[in-house]
Structure 1
Amino acid sequence: MRIALPAATLGILAACSVQVAPDNAASPTPSPTPVASPTPAAAADVPVRPGALKTFGDWAVGCDNTHLCTMASLGPDGGLFPEVTMAILRQPGPAGGFDLSFDVPGEGRPTTPVAVSVDGKRLPLATLNGAAAQAVVRALANGTTLAVLEAGDRQRAVISLAGASAALRYIDAQQGRAGTVTAVVATGAQPADTVPEATAAPVVRAPVATGIAATPTATQLARMRQVAGCEDDRMADSDIWKPETHPLGGGATLVLLPCSAGAYNLSSTLFVMKDGKVAPARVDAPTGFGPTPAAGTDRLESVVNGTWKDGELTSYAKGRGLGDCGVSQTLVWDGTRLRLTDQAEMGECRGNPNYITTWRTQVVRG
């Protein structure tokens, strides 16, 4: 099952059911092996343009704004969690290498196989990066199935490679590798130094969130609900409909006002209070259920299943209850507005809860 991911949000989720404050929020695929970072982008505003997701057969693929690319295996359409999922990350730049990861999605934990077998050819995995990872990637580009082998070469799972070659070709193109010796599928004779370097993640400067949160009055809350166009608040006395307030620093307070809910998504409209006045929060990128052509009733900026911790606001819009599709976002306050610092997505509801990162930044506090 595929869900639409218009722009940077999942507006279509407004019609789905939702869990409040999910305990198993989606996590992006594991971080790649560290490499030398390019010079950070200037602190000036940078347009927020998360990368697009593509699906090729049984694989989803996407690249973020630094040109780090990830492809992730998918289970059967309409099925539950597969036994094991696989992700391949490729670093950008001439020397960009591979990182592999394997997860047991039904148990929410990673696993480390001793080897894989591509169409019967055993490939040992002493590590999940470097030469071992490269050998696996080059083998699966022309394979049909990959078996995950645990201790004693016990077969744990079989992963379809349908579409894997096309996904690798897409990565070759997105990273400027096509026609070079560094490409996996779109190979050529051009030297590695013709591949573009990585793009630096933009810097977002954010003050330390300190102070004491202000408390909106009953009159202010009623006005906020009216302006936001919230659902009938007959359940206003229940815990899920109670607003949250958090200090942003500089005398400002963030208000998360629960506004609409389904079975597994709770949408909260964002307001900022300062000096006794309340105003809708400003955000530098689409969040929550809008604005998109498929948006729900949200009139103002919002987050879904929003949580606040250590100065970061997260939004986790689930495409279905299993949490294997949707959008996960993180935002920070820069003194005047909320800034999107990380975004990870999965557009296919096919059993892989490890979302693909499509936007990243460097946050500098102080």
Structure 2
Amino acid sequence: MKSACIAAAALSLAALSAVAAGKDPVAFSHNDWEIVCDNTRTCRAAGYQVDRGDSAPVSMLITRAAGPATPIEIQLQLGGESDVKGAVRLKVGKASISGLQGSDSELDAGQVRTILPELLKSDEAAVTAGGGRKWALSLAGLNAVLLKMDEAQGRVGTPGALVRRGSNPESSVLPSVPMPVVHTITPPKKHPGDDALAARIFPSLNLSDAQSLCNSTDKVDATSVQVDRLSDSKVLLSLGCDVGAYNSTSLLWIANDKPPYAPVAIDASGDFDGKDASVTSTMKTRGIGDCMSVETWHFNGKDFVRTSTTMDSMCRGFPGGAWSLPRYVSRIVGAASTTPSKP
């Protein structure tokens, strides 16, 4: 358990090391709400039910891109019920919205305008569905995280601020930051003799990280190492590593495919996908698996470059997390054209 927490903390610190326009990405939580702003200055605030064992899982996501007069998007997700069908009703203070459908709903612009003012001055939002099913969304902490959103996007004191409005011009609001562009390559097919490379390169590997991070390295030998082709002259070596009671990853090295092999350990860790030359690390930050952190790197022909990081800290009973809360995003060009649909 201790090793798993260390690994998760290390991943979180790595995520926070990503910078956008000279600024650290924002990650903040208060009471039952949390907020993450990524390197484009798009901010996502997520709130949940009160953290009690008898509370049905419910979550709201408030998303806003950077820039003057950008719209506010609100989504609602219900957990603990796999068959929520028909009309769902959301009531906050004096405002009520009917006609939402299913366990995952997105409010339209009119509904957002109706509900947002009441969210900011209420303690709880009630959600009901057919059959007498009920959920209680806590609003404790909402104002604090939305103020953090305004601060991160430079909206405090402007008419478009969510919490602390003023008469400063909308033109003073910080603009969106373009996503970094990462050019990737398609790895070639396996070369004859690649299966023998593990035994040849293994004696050159520095296993100090494996000894300090992995549960056990007593039986590590060349047969424990997987070799994948990166280019006509470079290969990737992967060593499986169990971390804690419920997490595992792979330690990675890039090496020449001919002497001198000169293997170099890389910052990326996780599972390699030869289809798009990517490495993805997925870690459970809680044993029950409702909080996950995911970090991805892509090979650009020389090294692995971080291309995305997502991590949420509350989750509150949603397997894998209720939402994806990116801390770092990029635009991928080349072999892996998986550009996000939203900034």
Which residues in structure 2 correspond to 1:106-255 (within 5 Å)? 114-119=88-93, 121-124=95-98, 127-150=106-129, 155-212=133-190, 214-215=194-195, 216-221=197-202, 223-224=204-205, 226-230=207-211, 231=214, 232-234=216-218, 242-255=224-237
Aligned equivalent of 2:250, options 268, 284, 287: 268
Letter in 2 for 1:210: P
Change (3 A) 1:302 1:158: same
Structure with greater proportional helix content: 2
Q: Which residue of structure 2 aligns with residue 357 of structure 1?
A: 326
Change (3 A) 1:123 1:112: same
Which residues in structure 2 correspond to 1:35-46 (within 5 Å)? none
Letter in 2 for 1:328: V
Contact 2:40–2:178 (CA<8 Å) still a contact in 1?
yes
* 2-structure distance, mates of 1:47, 1:361: 14
Contact 1:324–1:349 (CA<8 Å) still a contact in 2?
yes
Q: Which residue of structure 2 aligns with residue 60 of structure 1?
A: 34
When the two chains are superposed, the root-mean-square deviation of aligned CA atoms in Å is 3.6
For structure 1, the 5+ residue unaligned runs are 14-44, 283-300
Letter in 2 for 1:147: A
Q: Which residue of structure 2 aligns with residue 308 of structure 1?
A: 273
Change (3 A) 1:12 1:253: closer
Q: Which residue of structure 2 aligns with residue 74 of structure 1?
A: 48
Give SS of 1:249's match.
coil
Letter in 2 for 1:135: T
1:89-109 Cα distance to aligned partner (Å, 9 max, x none): 112111321222233455799
1:86 and 2:60 matched: yes
* 2-structure distance, mates of 1:346, 1:315: 15
Deviates most, 336-345 or 350-359:
350-359
Letter in 1 for 2:140: A
Q: What is the number of equivalent residue pairs in this alignment?
A: 308
Change (3 A) 1:12 1:66: closer
Percent sequence identity over aligned pairs: 25
The Cα of 1:5 is off from its aligned counterpart by: 9.6
The Cα of 1:116 is off from its aligned counterpart by: 1.2
1:341 and 2:323 matched: no
Change (3 A) 1:109 1:89: farther
The Cα of 1:223 is off from its aligned counterpart by: 4.3
* 2-structure distance, mates of 1:80, 1:175: 37
The Cα of 1:165 is off from its aligned counterpart by: 1.2
Give SS of 2:325's match.
strand
Contact 2:8–2:285 (CA<8 Å) still a contact in 1?
no
Bigger relative contact order (CA 8 A; separation at least 6): 1
Give SS of 1:10's match.
helix
* 1-structure distance, mates of 2:295, 2:155: 29
Deviates most, 99-108 or 244-253:
99-108
TM-score, with normalisation over the residues of structure 1?
0.72
1:245-294 Cα distance to aligned partner (Å, 9 max, x none): 33323443222211343221113211113323251244xxxxxxxxxxxx
Letter in 2 for 1:340: R
For structure 2, the 5+ residue unaligned runs are 13-18, 101-105, 336-343
1:124-181 Cα distance to aligned partner (Å, 9 max, x none): 46652423224323321111111223469x5531110001111111111111111111
Contact 1:281–1:337 (CA<8 Å) still a contact in 2?
no
Letter in 1 for 2:273: W
Give SS of 1:158's match.
strand
Give SS of 1:96's match.
coil
Which residues in structure 2 correspond to 1:257-296 (within 5 Å)? 257-276=239-258, 277-282=261-266
Aligned equivalent of 1:331, options 297, 321, 342: 297
Letter in 1 for 2:126: A
